[in-house]
Amino acid sequence: MENSVIIGPDALPALAELLYRPAVSRVFVVVDSHTARACLPLLEPHLPANYCLIEIPAGEEYKSLASCEVVWSQLTAQRADRHAVVVNLGGGVVTDLGGFAAALYKRGIRFVQVPTTLLAQVDASVGGKTGIDFQGYKNQLGVFQEPAAVFIEQKFLETLDPRQVKSGYAEVIKHWLIADADAFNTNRRLGWLTDDWTPIIRESVALKQRIVAEDPLEAGPRKLLNFGHTVGHAIESYLLLQAGREALHGEAVAAGLVCESWLSVQHGLLSAEELDKIETFVFSVFDKLSFVLMETAAIAEFALQDKKNAGTTINCTLLEGIGNGVYDQPVTVAEIAESLRYYLRLQS
């Protein structure tokens, strides 16, 4: 089971099997204030009776050092040893933060991911990127550390707000754009509402796992998974982390997908027709984010903190045709600002 991703009705029983092993000294479950209410009842029958609950407030602004301290304080108070297991029950905020906290506690204890949002089920729980935001910058502190295993149960999505479901869909679209043209062409005609996310989750997880297996530490091809994020993270940092304005990760990534597709056209990699297909599809799912022309230069500056950069060069992942991402494409702050202005001019 180590390092595996289990998807479907067998997932939670398989988690129980891991947690009841004699080698596990104690189980700690990290939740946020929403997953404590909406998701814990479904997980609880699969947990040992003496598990310890650690709750952080919900929201990206709590993917912070202060929330890590909450986790570390509880682990310390309960004298958790290196045989303890941390179960992260939540969306990407909980899986990123809980994974990071576990990876640092006593130089690392095991953790498992039980993702409860579409975004965390198709992307955040898989691949071993963990971390927190710092001083208004996304994922500025973090480590690569694979979870012991990931357990994906679609039933958790039943209580999720449709806006959050859409947010997760942005990462699915990203996966299609970088590596699966057929899926993009077929699925964009079906729209984003479905009763059964499992096939889409399976395909997204498999696609991400293939890329991560090739390059777990993001020295090369893993940068493909960051398509939409040079601009997306800049928007998210500027709007949400610095100004407390409305924007979800997936919503910012969706805008980033459009901007970086436009950059791909400017670099002669993508046709205008393909760009049109991408932006029409993105705007069929997402409303336009609310920032204005005057803010585009300030937003673009945030790309200078992107983790793919080398010195002052901003290395963006672009598309050489739909379904074919290319990484390490140098772009300038001015080009990013121009892509944001292009995005604002589009009809949504």
Contact with ligand NAD (CB under 6 A) among 27, 70, 71, 93: 93
Work out what residue 307 binds among ligand NAD, ligand LNCXM5UN, none; the CB cut-off runs from 5 to 8 Å by kind.
Answer: ligand LNCXM5UN
Active site residue 233: yes
Closest chain position to ligand LNCXM5UN (CB): 139
| Interaction of residue 28 with ligand NAD, rule CB under 6 A | no
Question: Which residues from 20-59 bind ligand LNCXM5UN, rule CB under 6 A?
Answer: none
Q: Which is nearer to ligand NAD, 117 or 342 (CB)?
A: 117
- Whole-angstrom distance, CA of residue 238 vs CA of residue 160: 26
Q: Which of 171, 260, 335, 338 is flagged as catalytic?
A: 171
Single residue of 110, 166, 175, 222 touching ligand LNCXM5UN by CB under 6 A: 222
Residue 344 CA to its chain's centroid (Å): 24
Applying CB under 6 A, does 225 fall inside the site for ligand LNCXM5UN? yes
| Share of the chain residues as helix, strand and coil, in percent rounded to the nearest 5 | 55, 15, 30
Of 188 and 249, which has the nearer Cβ to ligand NAD? 249
Catalytic residue among 166, 175, 229, 307: 229
Provide the minimum distance between the beta carbon of 171 and ligand NAD in the complex, in angstroms, as a whole number.
6
The Cα 239–Cα 36 span in angstroms is 27
On whether the CB atoms of residues 69 and 95 are closer than 8 A, the answer is no
Rounded Cα gap, residues 206 and 80, in angstroms: 34
CB of 119 to ligand LNCXM5UN, least distance (A): 8
Alpha carbon of 113 to those of 67, 90, 129, 197: distances in Å? 17, 8, 12, 18
How distant, in Å, are the alpha carbons of 231, 332, 333, 343 from that of 338?
A: 11, 10, 9, 9
- Report how far residue 61's alpha carbon sits from residue 240's, in angstroms, rounded to the nearest whole number: 8
Residue 58 binds which of ligand NAD, ligand LNCXM5UN, none (CB < 5-8 A, kind-dependent): ligand NAD
6 beta partners: 151
Which strands, in side-by-side order, build the sheet including 27-32? 4-7, 149-152, 110-115, 85-90, 27-32, 52-56
CB 86 within 8 A of CB 96: no
269 near ligand LNCXM5UN, judged by CB under 6 A: no
Q: Which of 63, 223, 249, 307 is catalytic?
A: 249
Site for ligand NAD in 152-191 (CB under 6 A): 156, 159-160, 164, 167, 171
Q: How far is the CB of 21 from ligand LNCXM5UN (least distance, A)?
A: 29
Of the candidates 115, 124, 178, 171, which has an alpha carbon nearest to the alpha carbon of residue 286?
Answer: 171
Antiparallel, parallel or unpaired: β 137-144 and 129-134:
antiparallel
Q: Which residues pair with 151 in a beta bridge?
A: 6
Per CB under 6 A, does 64 bind ligand NAD? no
Residue 229 interacting partner from ligand NAD, ligand LNCXM5UN, none (CB closer than 5 to 8 Å by kind): ligand LNCXM5UN
Which positions are catalytic? 107, 129, 171, 208, 218, 222, 226, 229, 233, 249
Q: Which residues bind ligand LNCXM5UN (CB under 6 A)?
A: 123, 127, 129, 138-139, 171, 218, 222, 225-226, 229, 233, 307
